[in-house]
Amino acid sequence: MRYTIFGESHGPAIGVVMEGVPAGLVLDEGAIAAQLARRAPGKSPLATARKETDAVQILSGVFEGKTTGTPLAMVIANADQHSGDYESLRYTPRPSHGDYPGFVKSGGCLDYRGGGHFSGRLTAPLVAAGAVARQLLAPRGIAIGAHISAIYGISDAVLEDPEELLAVSQKEFPVLDDAKGEEMQAAILDAKEEQDSVGGSIECVVTGLPAGLGAPDFGCNVEGIFSQYLFAVPAVKGVDFGAGVAFALMRGSEANDPLVVQDGVITAKSNHAGGINGGMTNGMPVVFEVTLRPTPSIALPQESVDLRTGEEVEIAVKGRHDPCIVPRAVPVIEAAAALAACEVLGF
C-alpha cells in the first residue's frame, strides 16, 4: 500500500491517492473527518488563523461504501488563502524553510505561495490517508495514540500506560498533565507575542503489533520503516525509539528488558527498546518520540538572499503561521505511524 500526496497550499485543492488499499473495507468517512478535525487550523490562538473546513471528497476507489481495491483518491479543497502575503518572498527564501531547496530543485518554477507543495498544509491529506490505515489496523487489535511530550523545555508527565492516550486524544491540547499543558501554552503565546516560534516533541505508541515482524535488513527494518514515514512530516528533525538518546547514559544491565512469562505469554518487564529488537517487533508496544523544529516562518527580521541578484537582504515574514506546530502535529504523527504499521504488517 502506497500513498502520493498532491497539491499546493494556495492551489485549488490538496489530496492523496492511495494504491493497494485492500478491497472490501467498509470505509468510515466520519472517522476520517474526525481525524482531520483534530489537525484543522483556525480554532485556537495557538495556531494559524487560516480557516479551512478540511472536508474530504472521495473521487475514486469506493463503491457502495466499500473500497474497491483500485486507487483511492481523496481531495480537500483550499478556501482561505492570502496569497499576497507571499509576494515579497518569491525570490527571498525563508531561512530553514523548503523555499530555497525547492527553488533550486524546480529550476525556479515552484509555487511559492504559502510554501506551495512544501507547506505544512499538505499534512491534511496525510491525516486522511492515516485515517484509512487506522481502519485496516483496528480489526487486528492495533491501536495508535500520542501526546505532546515537551514544548520549549517544558515536559509532560511520563507515560505509564498506553491506555492513558485514549483520553488524551479527546483533549483540545493533547497532554497527560493539564497543568504542564497550561505552561506549554503560555510558552507558545509568549513566543507568538514576540513574533517568534517554539519547537517541541511528541511521543507516540503503537500497541498490538505481534512479535517477529520486520527484519534486520535495509527496507525491512521496523525502525527504518517508521522513520521513513515520520520524516515525511514537515518539521520532524529527530526520531528516537524507546529510551532513545538516554541509552548513552545507561549500562547494559539498565538498558536491557528482562524477559518473563505472563499468563503463558512471553513478554518483557520493561520496554527500553521501544518494542523493537534487531529491526523486528518483539511484541511490546512500539514507542517512539519525534522532535519537531520551531516554525521557520516568523515575523522577526531574518537574513536571506535575493535569488535574482545574489545580494544579502533582510526579510520579515508576513501572513498567518503557527507559533508552534506541535499541538496540531499530534494526529499527523499518529497518521504516519498508522501507515508505517500497515507496511510492517505487509499491507
pLDDT, one tens digit per residue, over 78-93 is 986 666 667 888 999 9
Residue 83 confidence (pLDDT): 65
Whether the CB-CB separation of 308 and 103 falls below 8 Å is answered with no
Residue 319 confidence (pLDDT): 73
User: Percentage of the chain surpassing pLDDT 90?
Assistant: 83
User: Percentage of the chain surpassing pLDDT 70?
Assistant: 97
Using the structure block, give the residue that is written with the C-alpha cell 498533565. Answer: 177
Lowest mean pLDDT among 27-36, 226-235, 237-246, 317-326: 317-326
238 pLDDT above the threshold of 70: yes
Which pTM value belongs to this model? 0.94
CA distances from 22 to 68, 72, 346 (A): 7, 10, 11
**331 vs 51: which has the higher pLDDT:** 331
Residue 57 confidence (pLDDT): 96
Residue 218 confidence (pLDDT): 86
Mind listing the pLDDT tens digit for each residue in 23-55? Answer: 999 999 999 999 999 998 767 788 776 677 889
Mind listing the pLDDT tens digit for each residue in 144-194? Answer: 999 999 999 999 999 999 999 989 988 999 999 999 999 999 999 999 999
Average pLDDT, the chain: 93
**42 vs 100: which has the higher pLDDT:** 100
Residue 264 confidence (pLDDT): 92
Mind listing the pLDDT tens digit for each residue in 290-308? Answer: 999 999 999 999 999 999 9
Q: Which residues contact 167 (CB under 8 A, 6 or more apart)?
A: none
